[in-house]
Amino acid sequence: MLEIDKRKILESIDEYNRYRAPEAIAELMKVKDNIIVVKFKGSKLHCTCSLFDWLDDLTYILSDKLKRKVELIDFTEGEDCYTAQYHVYS
């Protein structure tokens, strides 16, 4: 099983929020095995045609910090947020 450094995930999310807030704000929900689950809220998520870009941007930061390939594998829409799942490859 792949060991993922949660501190590096939180650093990645902080960096993402530094550049994307208030349009998109990420929050770590959980890390299980090689899956990272992140909740996104923000003023522009529901009215933009570039939703996938907002969610996918985090993959680049995570990949850089974790030194591993990271891929957005799924996302769902909630009432006021999106929840995205990222797969971290070993």
In 3D space, the residue among 14, 39, 15, 42 whose CA is nearest the CA of residue 29 turns out to be 39
- pTM higher than the cut 0.85: yes
Tell me the pLDDT of the chain averaged across its residues.
Answer: 92
Domain 6-88 has CATH 3.30.70.990: yes
Q: How confident is residue 54, by pLDDT bands cut at 50, 70 and 90?
A: confident
Mean pLDDT of 53-62: 94
Condensed to tens digits (0 to 9), the pLDDT of residues 65-80 reads: 999 999 999 999 998 8
Q: Give the start-to-end residue ranges of the domains of the chain.
A: 6-88
